[in-house]
Amino acid sequence: MSPVVSPADPGFVRNLSDLGGRSFDCVVVGGGIHGASLLFELSRRGYRSLLVERRDFGRGASARSLRILHGGLRYLQSFDLSRFGESVEARRWFLRSFPEFTSPRSFLLPLDGKGVRHPIPFSVAFAIDAWLSRGRNDGVLPAHRLPRGRVVLANALEDVPRSVGSERAFAFWSDGWIADPQRLLIEYLRWSVSLGATIVNHADATPIVRDGAVVGLGLSRATNSDSTRLGESSGRVEVETPLVVLSAGAWTETTLDRWGWPLANSIPTAKVFNLVLEGSTDFGRVGSDGVSGMGVRARDGRNAFLWSDGRFTHVGTVHRIEGSGPEDVRVTTEEAEALIRSVDEHVPSLELSGRRVVSAQVGRLPSRSVDDPEMPHRDHVLSPAAFGGPEGLFVTMGLKYTTAPVVASRVVSLLPPSLLQPSPHPLGANQVDEPDALPPRPPCRGTIRIHDLLRSWESDEESILRLLRTLREEEAAGTLADLVLGRMDGSEDPEAARELASRLTSTFCADEKAGAAQLEELERALEAQALRVS
């Protein structure tokens, strides 16, 4: 039942004092998918690298994606071949690198004959896509390879939910799918650790600057984080580094403000959310091929994408201009009902309106402007000159989970060689001349599902607790929230997360008071995923 467990990963630092006085070639601040990708690119090229996360890994937008690894088909509409190529390359990278967490999934899009949603342009687009992405399966396991897309007629479909318009043709294509984005992120970090990287969470970072250049980083326990985590004092330690890359997502501007280098031209962000609904949805078949999800366009023009994993149905993604800060991002019942209603109006047979909303997966992503919530065309990469920062401080703010590895490779290649000088590396790793070569990964722990643990609790409690102790010690999961939200799938099913956490207080907390504090912290995190009454 238990996933494979490897020897201890010393790169996950649990005590800040262990970092005092150490030196690094580069420090990445931010532990989402983009920060993890930067750390990996630095580590596999032989640099001594440190990643610092103020909360816990991936607890922002990274854990709340719709889980689809899009190959960039839509970018062909605007002839954005650069983004298309990045998407194809990154999708292949994930399918090739993390086969335990990814798989191909087939999707349908009804073609209503309006604009580009007409069978002829879509057939042309699929032909172009097949040619331009002809290397999409290079190095990918046979079971993970993606066939070319095609247009199919309605009479080829079986048991597919029909829209009000009863379209005669559908676009049918395959993309990648992530079973567990949070666990994939942790395994990504473990991979970097196996290459010599160092990682710390629940730590505040502040650049140390002398003569206009970064010379180090000050670290202390985050004051807004879980003070019960390690029982440490709030003492400060310093590490040496000439280069810091800030990759804090929606917290980019607030972090730069706190450091004293506010952006003159702010990076606008939008609230972005998906809904997780109770129950599975059957999307039918195309011949012998099952359909995992579909895109719909309601009468009001709203676009939505749906997929089902056998337990829940996921619906998204909505982009809205609302507020500016990342701390209090909530979804209202009115917003959720509007999204569900727009889908039901277009595809009544889905009957989504009668289902319970299990959770609202919400975060903030860059937007085109303060008035346009859609994502911009390019990821943000800022040199010190762009915001008046010190030499050695760079900023990157990524757009999509899918393209994080490709963006990270590009960012590392842009860092000045005069600052990014590799120290002697204990592993001797340096694969800069072989960009497609992948170093071996450590044994993978795989997906850890709370429902599976709860079902096996009575018969296998001892081995379950042994696994969770391993996650705590080797992956710096110092609190109950870290465990159930950051190392397994608690973000998807809040009720299951609460039940498992309540069973663990006596084992993982020093006393009743500490247990209550950690359950309260977990509840605050889960509350952010609950619908707010309009």
Residue 12: per-residue pLDDT: 93
User: Residues 87-108: pLDDT tens digits?
Assistant: 999 999 999 999 999 999 999 9
| Residue appearing with tokens 């005590």 | 15
Query: How many Å separate Cα 456 from the centre of its chain?
Result: 28
237: pLDDT strictly greater than 90: yes
Domain 22-61+182-267+377-414: CATH architecture, name and number where available: 3-Layer(bba) Sandwich (3.50)
Q: If pLDDT is split at 50, 70 and 90, which confidence band does 425 have?
A: low
- pLDDT-above-90 percentage for the chain: 57
Read off the amino acid at residue 209: V
- The more confidently predicted of residues 437 and 37 is 37
Pick the closest to residue 68 from 143, 178, 147 (CA basis). 178
Q: If pLDDT is split at 50, 70 and 90, which confidence band does 7 have?
A: very low
User: Residues 437-481: pLDDT tens digits?
Assistant: 788 999 999 889 999 999 999 999 999 999 999 999 899 998 999
Q: What is the average pLDDT score of the chain?
A: 87
Residue 508, token pair as written in the block:
């993982």
Q: Is the dihedral of CA 515, 517, 521, 524 positive or negative?
A: positive
CATH superfamily of 270-366: D-Amino Acid Oxidase, subunit A, domain 2 (3.30.9.10)
Query: How many Å separate Cα 252 from the centre of its chain?
Result: 16
CA distances from 531 to 1, 19, 271 (A): 34, 40, 14
- DSSP 3-state assignment of 379? coil
Residue 63, token pair as written in the block:
């854990």
Region 48-55: what's the mean pLDDT?
95
Q: Are 423 and 295 in contact (CB under 8 A)?
A: no
Give me the phi and psi of 200, to 5 degrees please. Answer: -140, 140
* Strands lying side by side in the sheet with 203-210: 203-210, 213-221, 237-240
Region 478-492: what's the mean pLDDT?
89
Q: If pLDDT is split at 50, 70 and 90, which confidence band does 193 have?
A: very high
- pLDDT-above-70 percentage for the chain: 91
Pick the closest to residue 170 from 113, 109, 121 (CA basis). 109
Q: If pLDDT is split at 50, 70 and 90, which confidence band does 134 have?
A: very high
CA distance 258 to 201: 18
Region 4-29: what's the mean pLDDT?
79
Residue 10: per-residue pLDDT: 61
Pick the closest to residue 247 from 26, 422, 20, 490 (CA basis). 26
4: pLDDT strictly greater than 80: no
Region 499-528: what's the mean pLDDT?
90
Please give the model's pTM, rounded to 2 decimal places: 0.92
Residue 256, token pair as written in the block:
């730069």
Q: Which range (217-226, 285-294, 336-345, 510-519) has the least confidence?
A: 217-226
Residue 130, token pair as written in the block:
């097949």
Region 405-416: what's the mean pLDDT?
94
| Residue 285 burial class via C-beta count within 10 angstroms: exposed 0-12, middle 13-18, buried 19 and up | middle
Helices H, strands E: what count in the chain? 12, 22
Residue 430: per-residue pLDDT: 52
Pick the closest to residue 86 from 399, 417, 362, 363 (CA basis). 399
Q: If pLDDT is split at 50, 70 and 90, which confidence band does 186 have?
A: very high
Give me the phi and psi of 393, to 5 degrees please. Answer: -110, 115
- The more confidently predicted of residues 2 and 55 is 55
427: pLDDT strictly greater than 70: no
Region 226-243: what's the mean pLDDT?
69
Residue 226: per-residue pLDDT: 44
Give me the phi and psi of 237, to 5 degrees please. Answer: -125, 160
Provide the residue ranges of all domains of the chain, joining segments of one domain with +.
Answer: 22-61+182-267+377-414, 270-366, 450-527
CA distance 357 to 343: 14
Categorise residue 361: left if φ over 0, alpha if ψ from -120 to 50, beta otherwise.
beta
